[in-house]
Structure 1
Amino acid sequence: MKRTLLSIAAGAALLGGPAAAQDFPTTPPRATGAPRVDLPEPVRMRLPNGLTVMYVQQRELPVVSAVLVTRGAGSADEPAQVPGLASFTASMLDEGAGGRDALALASALDLLGASLSTGSGTDAAQANLYVLRQNFPAALRIMADVVTRPDFPEREVNRLRDERLTALARARDEATTIANNAFASLVYGAQHPYGRVPTAEGTRALDRGRVQGFHAARYRPESSTLILVGDVDPAAMQPMVAEAFGAWRAQGPAAAGPAELPQAPSIGRTVVYLIDKPGAAQSEIRIGHPGVPRSSPDFFPVMVMNTMLGGTFTSRLNTNLRETHGWAYGASSNFAMLRGAGPFTARAGVQTNATDSALVEFFRELNRIRTEAVTPTELDKIKNFVALRLPGQLETTSDIAGQLAALETYGLDASYFDDYVQRVMAVTADDLRRVASEYIRPDRAVVVVVGDRQVVEAAVRAANVGPVEIREVTEFVR
């Protein structure tokens, strides 16, 4: 600190003299209204094979960010008996493609100064490319090879499968993984895609044939959108895209769209599931139930309400459990808004000796946001936070491409951003209370506690949050 102050003083002297106390600000700056975000209107084109191409010009830098999003290739669309197949397939795409092995692909990308990654989520798979504009044509051809012509080398399939089996064995000792798996399983059940978790048995079934079959059925041009953001010219680039992706043809059944999701199960009452982790340094807590899909008309009120509850560092949950009581490093909540009703989850890792007290405070906050009126000051603070962070979410070409990919996944138009700020600022206290009452259900929730049963069981039962059931780790990580 002394060195820093001396540096400031030295700098001030160079500018004409020492800095006086009155030269430093004494009041924080006042927040201004959220700026309007004006993205260029995307130019949409389509190849004869059904691939949609979206161009967004951001020419400040000579770079291109490309995202190819494929709907219906996520975990919600994989066979029930092979959980993890979607993410495994996505991770295999760049392990060899177009006749080049993984090292040759990596070397080619390095020579172009490009980065390429692949992955999948619940509802879609993605390939992400970032490259200088001058090297875009060559990098795009590599991206096309990876997505449309993967080789799935047997040796790499075996290697990645063994890595996953090792990770599953290690997960038996990871309280966070145990809690996450148990929560998903207990909220949705094994019959729902959102309730399935990877198992050793399912992972051993990941072979080259299954990966090839999933790719052929689910990676389809008519279900995909290529998003290009940066120094792009639709007229000049569309022939390049056609050259790279024009030969891509759907294989397998004619209409392999997203799988039809079953109804999210109904939870009749709150039950606490205690999973024994002897000697655990802390207890992992998960509380929640099915929430709302991304298509919900209450998207904006729910987002603002959850930000207040547990979506930021100054949220009620984090302030209570971390700042006021010091029981947790952090406490949060989230609505996973997916194609179906993804989970609402409140979570924290808490001190073992505060497990029961933390449960009580969790439920205090869950009930308070449903019943207690929000003050105008708190509401304005949260709305400004949500609105003012939008520009940061669209700061780079990669940010913009990623946001547009999410909109494409859920069938939303890019005009979503045009009135984003207005819709956030239009949320009222009555809106918050209404959506909290409707979408947060502390009386019908799954509560997962992973901790040292010998230490915490009596106190958890005494907390009287709900009936307590004892479950085994091997039920959820196996």
Structure 2
Amino acid sequence: MMRTLATVAAGAALAGFAGAAQAQTFPTTPPSTGPAPRIDLPDAVRRTLPNGLKVVYIAQRELPVVSAVMVTRGAGTGDEPAAEAGLASFTASMLDEGAGGKNALQLADALDLLGASLSTSAGVDAAQANLYVLKQNFPAALRLMADVVTRPDFPEREVDRLRQERLTQLARAKDEATTIANYAFSSLVYGAGHPYGRYPTVATTQGLNRAAVAAFHARGYRPENSTLILVGDVNPAQMNPLIDAAFGSWRAQGTGPSLTATPPTPTVARTTLYLIDKPGAAQSEIRIGHPGVARNTPDYYALLVMNTLLGASFTSRLNTNLRETHGWAYGASSSYQMLRGAGPFTARAGVQTNATDSSVVEFFKELNRIRTEDVTEAELDKARRYVALRLPDQLETTQDIAAQYGSLETYGINPSFLETYVERVMAVTAADLRRVANQYVRPGQSVVVVVGDRSKVEAGLRAANVANVEVRDVSEFVK
């Protein structure tokens, strides 16, 4: 067989590369991390309209764009009536389905012509509307945002369509182990009477109608509980008249208290394992945890570093144990959802069915080890730097900065938080980690949820003797 000159040359090049690779000594240690950067954002300029709407301007003039976030406390899922679970997120989803006399398609077309993006959502403690647009198109886009937030039409046809979509999602959820585990965990940790323990059901979703949505909007969307954050090429002197024109006529329509009270924190007396049978499940979903802490905890920084070491990074103890050492899961993690009240601490993973009992045992091994075993200085420094070095990535764009300020406004955190964040993270000590781990990780007072094939996992879970085992049915949590 004849070979071309190009083939011969290519072969010689590859042989030469291989020889060079064998001769060269490749690095065997990873590069060291540099010092944590200082965060230095421009001072925010604050204004308040006569109706109580607060406006925050943060100048970032590198690009001619504006990111706007409207945060409305009192309109989150934690504020919805107990019998109407799902109403807050449904209302937020309906805001851009028709507003100010424009239907959903007309709104979308108007935004497209401006090159703008607008989205709405509801978290636990607040609802949000997010706008991103070129500065030259900001006035027109701002008027559309004002229509969506303050003058939604809630067309009957769109209410019916969205309600049917959600009923379809609930029907699918009966076959989704992840959803079953999440619903069961929330319900068992907090109870159905607590806002953090509720979730949408077929019955509550069927009750979502135009009257309920309009009433929740009137009650929850109020200017005095709202903050508009503007980041980018912004000028308060030029823009405040535009904002006054767009939002100045907004008035509270509902009666009663403007904000719901912070819910009390329940307690878990002793650890119980709840096995939820899902015959034929491909794997087992595990959730372990209990009520955690509120966002305003003074232990915020120590908890971030401790949980990074436990389960919030790829090299964390939980992930290293279940994924890297044993190969039972694609990933294992832990988190604190810090809310206005004490949100949950959750350790989680989806694991191989035949390793369900062993995985639960290893979870508890790590939950106890973080409380009893001192961290090394190398581990501590790595975790601190991981937390500190992530902040610049979370402030990379105008949208990122607006989102960060939106969270600070929601929980009443002073904006100086961003400027002192790195310093306070790097000041966390090993003693701090031991203290918060013992206070806020409670393996002896936890809810354990396992969603899996009972016929394959029950015997092993009972033999593991981690906790008393109770068997529950899927229909208790997805209904």
Which range, TM-score by smaller chain?
Answer: over 0.9
2:207 aligned to 200, 205, 208, which one? 205
In structure 2, distance between residues paired with 1:460 and 1:19: 51
Q: For residue 441 of structure 1, what is the aligned residue in structure 2? A: 442
Q: Deviations over 1:52-103 (max 9, x none)?
A: 0000000001100000000111011000001000000000000000000000
For structure 1, the residue ranges without an aligned partner over 5 or more in a row are 1-5, 11-17
In structure 1, distance between residues paired with 2:24 and 2:68: 50
Aligned: 1:324 with 2:325: yes
In structure 1, distance between residues paired with 2:23 and 2:88: 60
What SS does structure 2 have at the residue aligned with 1:169? helix
In structure 1, distance between residues paired with 2:22 and 2:265: 64
In the TM superposition, 1:50-89 aligns within 5 A as 50-89=52-91
Shift of 1:21: 7.7
1:171 aligned to 163, 173, 194, which one? 173
Task: Summarize the Cα distance change of 1:134–1:37 in structure 2 as closer, same or farther, 3 Å threshold.
Answer: same
In structure 2, distance between residues paired with 1:114 and 1:21: 55
Q: For residue 245 of structure 2, what is the aligned residue in structure 1? A: 243
In structure 1, distance between residues paired with 2:354 and 2:22: 50
Q: For residue 159 of structure 1, what is the aligned residue in structure 2? A: 161
Shift of 1:254: 5.8
Q: For residue 116 of structure 1, what is the aligned residue in structure 2? A: 118
In structure 1, distance between residues paired with 2:327 and 2:421: 36
What SS does structure 2 have at the residue aligned with 1:450? strand
Shift of 1:263: 1.6
Q: For residue 129 of structure 1, what is the aligned residue in structure 2? A: 131
| Identity among equivalent pairs (%) | 71
Taking structure 2 as the reference length, the TM-score comes to 0.95
Amino acid paired to 1:122: V
In structure 2, distance between residues paired with 1:30 and 1:343: 34
Amino acid paired to 1:66: A
Q: For residue 454 of structure 1, what is the aligned residue in structure 2? A: 455
Task: Summarize the Cα distance change of 1:377–1:155 in structure 2 as closer, same or farther, 3 Å threshold.
Answer: same
Shift of 1:197: 1.0
In structure 2, distance between residues paired with 1:107 and 1:413: 38
Q: CA RMSD in A?
A: 1.6
Does the aligned pair in 2 maintain the 1:70–1:124 contact within 8 Å? yes
Amino acid paired to 2:239: M
Shift of 1:255: 3.9
In structure 1, distance between residues paired with 2:284 and 2:291: 23
Task: Summarize the Cα distance change of 1:396–1:21 in structure 2 as closer, same or farther, 3 Å threshold.
Answer: farther
What SS does structure 2 have at the residue aligned with 1:418? helix
In structure 2, distance between residues paired with 1:339 and 1:157: 30
In structure 2, distance between residues paired with 1:38 and 1:437: 34
For structure 2, the residue ranges without an aligned partner over 5 or more in a row are 1-9, 15-19
Q: For residue 287 of structure 1, what is the aligned residue in structure 2? A: 288
In structure 2, distance between residues paired with 1:301 and 1:418: 17
In structure 2, distance between residues paired with 1:353 and 1:44: 57
Shift of 1:136: 0.4
Q: For residue 359 of structure 1, what is the aligned residue in structure 2? A: 360
In the TM superposition, 1:378-397 aligns within 5 A as 378-397=379-398
Bigger Cα displacement from structure 2, 30-39 vs 110-119: 30-39
Q: For residue 107 of structure 2, what is the aligned residue in structure 1? A: 105
Does the aligned pair in 2 maintain the 1:71–1:123 contact within 8 Å? yes
What SS does structure 2 have at the residue aligned with 1:288? strand
1:94 aligned to 85, 91, 96, which one? 96
Provide the aligned length of Structure 1 versus Structure 2. Answer: 463
In structure 2, distance between residues paired with 1:303 and 1:86: 29
Amino acid paired to 1:388: L
1:49 aligned to 48, 51, 56, which one? 51
Shift of 1:29: 3.1
Shift of 1:276: 0.3
Amino acid paired to 2:295: R
In structure 2, distance between residues paired with 1:459 and 1:32: 47
Runs of 4+ in 1 over 6 A off after TM superposition: 18-26
Amino acid paired to 2:310: L
In structure 2, distance between residues paired with 1:154 and 1:181: 29
Taking structure 1 as the reference length, the TM-score comes to 0.95
What SS does structure 2 have at the residue aligned with 1:81? helix
In structure 1, distance between residues paired with 2:186 and 2:29: 46
Amino acid paired to 2:194: H
Does the aligned pair in 2 maintain the 1:185–1:195 contact within 8 Å? yes
